Structure 1
Amino acid sequence: MEIRIVRGSATAPTEMASYDAALAEANVHNYNLTHVSSVIPADASVEFVDTAPDLGSIGDGLTVVEARATSADHRVSAALAWAQSEAGPGLFYEAAGEESPAESRERVEDGIAAGMDLRGWSGGGVESAVTAIEPEEGFATALVLAVYGEGRPIR
């Protein structure tokens, strides 16, 4: 399975519109998102692509791990870190809020270290993706997503 890391940030007049615009920047705005916790399957590869390619039909479901923050008053940042064990499985850790990108990155990297240690996993290094935005007018949303595989019809 391929897991793609994408990110987006945008402003808009309402909270939901800024979230939708940030999803559009990451090119996942036409899918229904199903959120999962943070475990990477052993057979998965993880790749940072910034913006998603075409992953299916409009309205398909996508499985994601999401870091997201929205504010009308303060800069927001979102960060997602990942690491995989030598045996293959791994973890994502997400952080988001009214903090600097450096603070978000530090939080996710500390979280990954703790999560890997909790499971007794060792392996490759930690990678991370961060985005941030200041509100201009209205609301600002920053997000980073891990998108699992391709879209699938919702039935």
Structure 2
Amino acid sequence: MSTIRVVWGSSTGPTEMAAYDGALADAGIENYNLVAVSSVIPAGVPVEAVGTAPDLGPAGERLTVVEGRARAAGPTSVSAGLGWVESIDEGPGLFYEAAGEADPDDVERRVREGIDAGADLREWDLGEASVHVEQARADSGAYAAAVVVAAYGESEPIV
């Protein structure tokens, strides 16, 4: 498997789905069908924080992801976070996500607590955790969306 890329985006829109689609576009993954998996980084696969995804394949294909996402009607502020910790010896690692109508610092705290709890469940040699939190604000009458997504490799045909 190739690299897992961490991407992020935020947007506002006239509907909840339009705001979410805009946040995916901001992250560069709006043209894929996202398939969520739990939170294990396969052994030996590097994680790279890139912000915006490069071309990961043709539009409409399946893209495997771990996703932190927040969406809400304004007036509000939403935050989505994703954290990851890689093995120090080419073994597996972990992703954890958190989101909500919360302060970005609170979302980061919850992500870090999740990573710590997940690490305590496993006997893996893990390094230092990394976290990214994305925030979006919307006025009354609009919607806000924020995403932080770990995209596993390239897209694959869905049919």
Band of TM-score, shorter chain? over 0.9
Q: CA deviation at 1:95?
A: 0.1
- Deviation of 1:145 (Å): 0.2
Match of 1:129 among 132, 137, 146: 132
Paired position in structure 2 for 1:138:
142
Q: 2:111 aligns to what?
A: 108
Q: Distance in 2 between matches of 1:152 and 1:57?
A: 8
Structure 2 match to 1:90: 93
Query: Aligned partners of 2:49 and 2:87: how far apart in 1?
Result: 18
Whole-Å Cα distance in 1 between the matches of residues 128 and 6 of structure 2? 16
Counterpart residue number, 1:20: 21
The alpha carbon displacement at 1:85 in A equals 2.3
Give the Cα–Cα distance (whole angstroms) in 1 for the partners of residues 68 and 20 of structure 2.
Answer: 12
The residue that corresponds to 1:151 in the other structure is 155
Structure 2 spans left out of the alignment, 5+ residues = none
- Alignment-derived partner of residue 119 in structure 1: 122
Secondary structure of the corresponding residue to residue 150 of structure 2: strand
* One-letter amino acid of the structure 2 residue matched with residue 135 of structure 1: A
Identity of aligned residues (%): 55
**Separation in 2, partners of 1:8, 1:114:** 27
C-alpha deviation, 1:109, in angstroms: 0.7
Match of 1:81 in 2: 83
For 1:94, the aligned partner's letter is E
Aligned length: 155
What secondary structure sits across from 1:63 in the alignment?
A: strand
State how far apart, in whole Å, the 1-side matches of 2:44 and 2:85 are: 13
Structure 1: runs of 5 or more not aligned: none
SS in 2 for 1:18: helix
If the length of structure 2 is used for normalisation, what is the TM-score? 0.94
TM-score by length of 1: 0.97
Distance 1:65 1:9 in 2: 17
Distance across 2 between alignment mates of 1:143 and 1:13? 17
